[in-house]
Amino acid sequence: MLALPRRVDVSNQVAMLLKKAPFQIILQLLFYATLAVYSYQLLADPHFNPIDDYQFLETTQVGKFLPPFIVPDISRFCPLLGFEYNVITRLLPATPVFYFAYHLLQLLIFSFLSLQILKRATRNVALQYAILLLYITTPGFITALFRPFVGERSVIFWFTIFLFFYFKFQDKNKILSFGTALLCASIALYYKEPVFLMLGSFALLHLVSSWKTSALAAKWLDGSLLISAGIYGLLYFVFVYLQRGPLNYAATIHNQDLIQQVISFFQSDPLLFLFLLPLLVIRVVAITTRRAQFHSFYDSLLLAALIYILVYFKLAIAGQYYLQPAYIAIMPALAYNFKPGCENQVQKVQFSYAVIALVFVLMSNPTQIFPKSLPSTLNKYKYVASNYDPMLNYLVQDVRSRAKGKRVNIFLNLNKNSGYEAYWSFIKFLQYKGLTSRQFDVKTDQPENDFYKFNITDPYSPYSVLKSNQPNKIARGDYLVVLPLLQYNYVEPTYERLDAQHKNSYDDTECLHTIDGHYRLLFRTNNQLGPPVKAARGMLCRFEPNYYVFEYQ
């Protein structure tokens, strides 16, 4: 008689692995090695990013104050975004290394405090490091770490400090913990608009669910957090909502139907959706069937994270870093609920699902997960920025030496509408490096697309691309600057400009000196420090961080 195979318990199998000392040590080594890599990458020859960072050039870089980011026309109210750089440049030299040194300080403090928070949620050391390692290696986290004008990084930083001291206050009702928790939570509000909904919903849910069991001091803290979130909401209503323009920020982007929205959100952050939404369903079922009780802290965090995500879903804005603050609320809940090897059947289901979800993401979208998330994202936000300066420096020198008093034309390989900010940034950086509008003009040879629903033109601008929506024809002697698809994912592929026999050798300088008889390669960046990436046929230059400068003949 044949014996039936035993049912494999995923939770117990993984529990045995996580309890093994060598596996715990491996995870710890990977985590600290990742921190070491980030530390080096942040401080080794840092450069401003081609997107957003042009705002420093006319402010902090020349001793002026970076103004609060309040733009009622598109419903934006993030008054603290970038404020820390005003402080840094008053105390230290205005060089990128000190901007990114602050990012490193944020990273180290965040990592230490997150581990303390996770230790409260689970005693399993391997699980603590596994959760945090997965998070800090997501493309969204890396993006926020390497881009100064991403408010999510500061939200993550201040909200983590808030949770740490919120926990400490629950243990011992000390006024220092009360004040620090309230202050840090209030600071986080003013870096990104939806944070007030996440903070307010958490405080309200925790206040109501723990009303009968919590101390009076804990009720005061929850009430104070609610008031702080309410003050932000009132300020937003008065200074932004009542003065808003015809379109908010989300409405300026092309429409997506419901199916496209779901796909966009899943592609931008699959880990978040594969863990949060099913965990919420499992918790709701368990609580409603009385197999588990509502946890005033962890379940309130889960629901607060869901509310934060729903705001972006309602606005139809998907991006790799937009939803990062939600992780700060989700990670402690994940550690608490996903307990390997437990006897509780609900928790066994939760943990088993987590393992299956992780395997699914690894198979379906490996670039979102460590280790494959590191090379592509570092190339995009570290080495694209490192290559931007050499390209600009060459262009400035070449324009000065070859123009001989004439105004030269520079074309970029992207659409004026979808790439408006890239054009604006390109002009600002050239001006910062010493060129004037008398020496160069920037043009586009492409008709506008419909990526954004508004057109920005300035009839008084000295630059053709900003002055009019009409495309221009490239002529002999004009420059064509080819931007890396890795950074500017809305650029024209440019390959249709090139001779067919050279398309599959686009990243080979020997094949680029003469292309299609019209374009002559003048310069290309070749950053050897970046992680090695090899593009497949049909995905030419997709993952390389290099810039090219051509002359049209």
SS (H, E, C) 469-502: CCCCCCCCCCEEEECCCCCCCCECCCHHHCCHHH
| Among 488, 270, 285, 483, residue whose Cα is nearest residue 391 | 483
- The answer as to whether 126 is a domain residue is yes
Both 84 and 198 in one domain: the answer is yes
Both 336 and 423 in one domain: the answer is no
Q: Please, what is the Cα angle at 29 between 24 and 32, to 5 degrees? A: 125
| Among 407, 376, 384, 377, residue whose Cα is nearest residue 548 | 384
Both 148 and 249 in one domain: the answer is yes
Position 359 scores a pLDDT of: 55
Which pTM value belongs to this model?
0.84
- The answer as to whether 318 is a domain residue is yes
Is the CA virtual torsion 359, 362, 363, 365 positive or negative?
positive
- The answer as to whether 24 is a domain residue is no
Both 419 and 495 in one domain: the answer is yes
Which of 297, 330, 365 marks a domain boundary? Answer: 365
Which of 335, 365, 395 marks a domain boundary? Answer: 365
Assign residue 51 a region: left if phi > 0, alpha if psi is -120 to 50, beta otherwise?
beta
- The answer as to whether 93 is a domain residue is yes
Both 339 and 427 in one domain: the answer is no
Both 421 and 329 in one domain: the answer is no
Position 512 scores a pLDDT of: 37
Both 85 and 213 in one domain: the answer is yes
Q: Are 197 and 232 in contact (CB under 8 A)?
A: no
- Residue 33 CA to residue 121 CA, distance in Å, equals 24
Which are the contacts of 198, defined by CB distance < 8 A and separation ≥ 6?
A: 304, 305, 307, 308, 325, 326, 329
Position 156 scores a pLDDT of: 97
Give the number of other CB atoms < 10 A from CB of residue 428.
Answer: 16
- The answer as to whether 18 is a domain residue is no
| Among 351, 333, 335, residue whose Cα is nearest residue 15 | 351
Both 343 and 393 in one domain: the answer is no
Domain range for 486 is 387-552
Position 319 scores a pLDDT of: 73
Q: Are 294 and 287 in contact (CB under 8 A)?
A: yes
- The answer as to whether 538 is a domain residue is yes
Position 257 scores a pLDDT of: 61
Strand partners, 551: 479, 520
- Residue 127 CA to residue 115 CA, distance in Å, equals 11
Both 542 and 467 in one domain: the answer is yes
**Count of residues in the chain:** 553
Report strand pairing: 408-412 vs 440-443.
Answer: parallel
Both 303 and 409 in one domain: the answer is no
Number of domains in the chain: 2
Per-residue pLDDT of the chain (553 residues; tens, 9 = 90+): 334 344 444 445 455 555 566 778 888 999 999 999 999 999 988 999 888 899 999 999 999 999 999 988 888 899 999 999 999 999 999 999 999 999 999 999 999 999 999 999 988 888 899 889 989 988 889 989 999 999 999 999 999 999 999 999 988 888 999 999 999 999 999 999 999 999 999 999 999 999 988 889 999 999 999 999 999 999 999 999 888 766 555 555 555 566 766 777 776 777 777 777 777 878 888 888 888 888 889 999 999 999 998 888 888 777 778 889 999 998 998 888 876 544 455 555 555 555 555 555 554 454 555 445 566 677 777 888 888 999 999 999 999 987 777 899 999 887 776 667 788 889 999 999 999 999 999 988 877 766 655 567 778 889 988 888 888 888 888 999 888 765 555 444 443 444 433 334 334 333 333 345 577 888 888 765 444 433 333 333 445 678 888 888 8
Helices 195-209/298-315 angle, 10° precision: 150
- Residue 426 CA to residue 483 CA, distance in Å, equals 11
Position 134 scores a pLDDT of: 86
Position 392 scores a pLDDT of: 94
- The answer as to whether 8 is a domain residue is no
Position 449 scores a pLDDT of: 67
Backbone angles phi, psi at 420, to 5 degrees: -55, -45
Both 94 and 228 in one domain: the answer is yes
- Residue 550 CA to residue 410 CA, distance in Å, equals 10
Both 360 and 505 in one domain: the answer is no
Position 539 scores a pLDDT of: 33
- The answer as to whether 22 is a domain residue is no
Contacts 24+ apart (CB under 8 A), 6-13: 9/348, 9/352, 10/351, 10/352, 10/355, 10/356, 11/340, 11/341, 11/342, 11/347, 11/348, 11/351, 11/352, 11/355, 12/340, 12/341
